[in-house]
């Protein structure tokens, strides 16, 4: 059992990198990848903890890219977290996130929600406040029923408290991951483009810029989507990865390694990833 897409308290997850490694050990995971949003600050502690718990750890990142519609995230596996250009670019993204967070707070306050920055930040971890933390603060105040309600009515794109921020162009995200020694993989492709022919064309374009793979195994993919993405990978010469997108208490329905319970990422995806990374555990 493996999980190549998890988040810690260094982005919008509820578990520390060390706790993720310990949980992976208890669950008997063979390998786990830390892919926090737009930062790799938790990677060193995560890899150390994985070694202590007998789990193969992969240091990664999940970079948000700018696209006209949909949501495009690029996973970077095996990156060097101290790479200068990577850190500089991710710091710029994080600075933009910080600006956006305060703008979101202003908009929520203007809508009549008596939220303070301190109570939102209290739901965050060591580094990054994100929209899920605003949702949790709103739930605690009784303003919304749950996270889905918060996003549907206030925090999602197009809703009154949504604020955009700086993102890299997709090809720049791919290039940056490559420059930092990593393997760039498209995360949850359905959030970017739903129509398969259009997705194939867009994937071919990114592949030409260095995209190495596609996340075909994902808890929210239907069986038909998974098969379609596997076929696209074979057709375009892309490697395949998969993961739960585990965030812990932020989304308790998703469990580490098993998603909603019956989900599983085949161990067979590891060897092509190791080869692409140029190293083996």
pLDDT tens-place string over residues 219-255? 999 999 999 999 999 999 999 999 999 999 878 889 9
Q: Give dist(CA 77, CA 223) in Å, integer.
A: 25
> CA torsion 196→201→205→206, rounded to 10°?
0
Q: Give dist(CA 257, CA 200) in Å, integer.
A: 28
What are the residues facing 214 on neighbouring strands? 186, 240
Contact by Cβ (8 Å): 161, 108: yes
Give me 94's structure tokens. Answer: 């994080």
Query: Structurally, what CATH architecture does the domain formed by 91-155 represent?
Result: Orthogonal Bundle (1.10)
Contact by Cβ (8 Å): 281, 31: yes
Length of the chain: 281
Tell me whether the CATH fold assigned to 2-81+169-277 matches the one assigned to 91-155.
no
Give the model confidence (pLDDT) of 27-61 as tens digits. 999 999 999 999 999 999 999 999 999 999 999 99
Residue 237's closest CA among 212, 255, 259, 219? 212
pLDDT at 130: 80
Q: Can you give the pTM of this predicted structure?
A: 0.83
Tell me which fold the domain 2-81+169-277 belongs to: TIM Barrel (3.20.20)
The secondary structure of 118-172 as a DSSP string is: HHHHTTS-SS---HHHHHHHHHHHTSSSSHHHHIIIIISTTSTT------B-HHH
- Structural domain spans, the chain: 2-81+169-277, 91-155
Give the model confidence (pLDDT) of 263-274 as tens digits. 999 999 999 999
């Amino acid at each position: 059992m493996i999980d190549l897409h998890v988040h810690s308290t260094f982005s919008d997850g509820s578990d520390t990198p060390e706790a993720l490694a310990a949980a992976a050990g208890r669950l008997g995971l063979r390998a786990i990848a830390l892919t926090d949003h737009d930062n790799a600050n938790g990677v060193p502690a995560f890899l150390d903890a994985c070694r202590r718990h007998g789990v193969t750890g992969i240091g990664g990142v999940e970079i948000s890219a700018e696209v006209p519609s949909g949501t495009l995230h690029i996973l970077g596996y095996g990156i060097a977290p101290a790479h200068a250009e990577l850190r500089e670019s991710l710091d710029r993204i994080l600075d933009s996130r910080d600006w956006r967070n305060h703008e979101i707070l202003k908009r929520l306050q203007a809508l009549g929600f008596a939220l303070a920055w301190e109570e939102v930040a209290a739901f965050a971890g060591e580094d990054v406040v994100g929209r899920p933390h605003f949702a949790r603060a709103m739930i605690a105040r009784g303003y919304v029923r749950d996270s889905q309600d918060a996003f549907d009515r206030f925090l999602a794109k197009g809703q009154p408290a949504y604020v955009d921020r700086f993102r890299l162009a997709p090809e720049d995200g791919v290039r940056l991951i490559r420059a930092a020694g990593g393997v760039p993989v498209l995360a949850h492709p359905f959030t970017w483009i739903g129509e398969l022919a259009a997705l194939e064309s867009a994937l071919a374009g990114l592949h030409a810029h260095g995209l190495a793979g596609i996340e075909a195994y994902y808890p929210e993919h239907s069986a038909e989507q998974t098969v379609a993405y596997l076929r696209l990978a074979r057709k375009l010469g892309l490697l395949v990865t998969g993961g739960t997108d585990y965030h812990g208490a932020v989304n308790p329905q998703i469990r580490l390694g098993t998603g909603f319970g019956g989900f599983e990422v085949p161990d067979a995806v590891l060897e092509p990833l190791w080869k692409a990374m140029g190293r083996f555990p």
